[in-house]
Amino acid sequence: MTSTLAPIRFDVPRTALGRWLHGGRRLVAAPDFASFAGDDWSLRIMDDVAATTLHAKQGRTISHWSLEKADGRILNLFLKRHYVLPRWQGLLAALLPRRTFSPGLAEWEHLCWARDHGLPVARPVAAGEFLGPWGKLQSFLAVEELTGMLPLHEAIPHALAVLSPEAFARWKRGLVAELARLARELHRRSTFHKDLYLCHFYLPRADCEAVPPSFEGRTVMIDFHRLARHRLARLWFQVKDLAQLLFSTDGVPGLTARDRLRFWKLYRAGDWEPAAPPRSWVRAAVARKWKLYHRHNQKLQRERTP
């Protein structure tokens, strides 16, 4: 997957041996980023303490990063930093510098691909990878914060609480139709999110307190680090995506079996699936996968219970 939004800048030795011994870097950024972060941002971004860490796990962090321009304008970002990546990825980065093997640059390309194909996503602002000697590899991704927006597992209960029953029913119909459209737009290209949970869809808070004229383009998707195209194994990943989405609706106030059925009918509408198996087969496979997720989640909860 490639991006048409901005070119990646290369600063690496010409030979694979030179890259293995001395390293290098690849960077990409939106045109306005340096005016907020400073011209030396690439030297500081992996260690900038101004970014407040929200989550840290296994050599990677997710931080909130607020940048202020001289004229007072503020750019709020989420910054993903990967400090320790497998050496084999560093080896491949040294051997094939035009290919992407780091998660930061990979997610940038995925976000740009989604944006180029009309899918609403959080704006990618900067990304890069730093290749050190002997295959040491680090990467980062900065995306603009979705200010004033709620993840759907919070947006749906909020709408249930503030809208009348009639308005909430109309609101749900519009939202379900948009979720079906977004999933269909991905899957008809044999492209799969692999983390298709409600918490990875965001909606403006204002659109949860009134019924918008349309949900199209307003429901934003995030977390594209696992996005990939699978033509041969498309049915496996299609089932997995749909089962993840179904599983994430469990226990969300306001959602019913009728809403799930409506999603299914809208998702399967039209003749867009090449050589599609019987719909009953796919639906049964999704249900089985959902039950596996459900049992696994229950097992984890039992293990966490003292």
What is the domain partition of the chain in residue ranges? 9-144, 149-304
Laid out side by side, the sheet with 74-82 consists of: 9-11, 24-29, 124-131, 137-144, 74-82, 60-68, 52-57
**Residue 165's pLDDT is what?**
97
Give residue 278's pLDDT band: very low, low, confident or very high (50, 70, 90): low
Q: Label residue 291 by pLDDT band (50, 70, 90).
A: confident
Residue 14: per-residue pLDDT: 84
The torsion angle over the Cα atoms of residues 59, 29, 131 and 81, rounded to 10 degrees, is 0
- Please indicate, yes or no, whether the overall pTM of this predicted structure exceeds 0.75: yes
- Of the pLDDT bands very low, low, confident and very high (cuts 50, 70, 90), residue 172 is very high
Domain 149-304: CATH superfamily is Transferase(Phosphotransferase) domain 1 (1.10.510.10)
Query: Residue 21: pLDDT band by 50, 70, 90 thresholds?
Result: very high
Cα(174)–Cα(212) distance, integer angstroms: 9
Is 273 or 56 the better-scoring residue by pLDDT? 56
pLDDT of 169 strictly over 90: yes
The pLDDT value given to residue 3: 46
- Select the highest-mean-pLDDT range: 245-249, 274-278, 285-289: 245-249
To the nearest whole number, what is the mean pLDDT of the chain?
91
Tokens of 279: 């719909």
Is the pLDDT confidence value at 196 over 80?
yes
In this prediction, residue 6 has a pLDDT band, given cuts at 50, 70 and 90, of: low
- What is the reported pLDDT for 302? 77
Please provide the size of the chain in residues. 306
Q: Which pLDDT tens digit goes with each residue over 217-255?
A: 999 999 999 999 998 899 999 999 999 999 999 999 999
Q: Is the pLDDT of residue 98 over 50?
A: yes
What's the gap between Cα 108 and its chain centre? 10
pLDDT for position 68: 92
pLDDT at position 7 is: 64
pLDDT reading at 171 higher than 70? yes
Geometric angle at alpha carbon 7, from 75 and 115, rounded to 5°: 65
Decide if 215 contacts 261 (C-beta within 8 A). no
Structure confidence at residue 181 (pLDDT): 96
Reference 186, options 169, 174, 199, 200; nearest CA is 200
